[in-house]
């Protein structure tokens, strides 16, 4: 695997009842199931089972939620036509 350099965003993370501010990156995990009939060479099923969106400090190489390296997050989906406008919104928090 190679590291994917995602955009860095200032975020506030809640861990053990304490809020901390950090430069972060987020990743989306996709869980799926695929079943094949290898005798007929056909796909029987291809289903999306779930998603996990997590955010961690850019200084961390680990990503485990249970081990405390990252937090479960919720993406805010919006249409942005000019990406230069997103940074002032985030930095003004």
Distance from chain centroid for Cα 74:
9
Say what the pLDDT of residue 43 is.
Answer: 93
Distance from chain centroid for Cα 34:
22
For the chain, strand residue ranges (E) read 9-15, 18-37, 42-57, 70-72
Beta bridge partners of 89: none
| Local confidence pLDDT in tens for the 93 residues of the chain | 676 777 888 888 877 788 888 898 888 888 899 999 999 999 999 999 988 888 888 877 666 666 666 778 887 777 777 666 655 444 444
Pairing outcome for strands 9-15 and 42-57: unpaired
Say what the pLDDT of residue 83 is.
Answer: 65
Domains by residue range for the chain, with CATH: 9-76 (3.30.470.20)
- Dist. CA 15–CA 62, nearest whole Å: 16
Closest to 71 (Cα-Cα) out of 59, 53, 83: 53
């Amino acid at each position: 695997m190679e590291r994917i350099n995602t955009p860095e965003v200032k975020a506030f993370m809640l861990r053990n009842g304490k809020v901390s501010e950090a430069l972060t990156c987020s990743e989306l995990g996709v869980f799926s199931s695929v079943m094949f009939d290898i005798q007929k060479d056909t796909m029987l099923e291809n289903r999306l089972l779930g998603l996990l969106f997590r955010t961690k400090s850019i200084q961390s190489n680990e990503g485990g939620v249970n081990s405390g390296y990252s937090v479960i997050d919720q993406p805010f989906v919006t249409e942005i036509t000019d990406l230069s406008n997103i940074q002032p919104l985030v930095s003004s928090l």
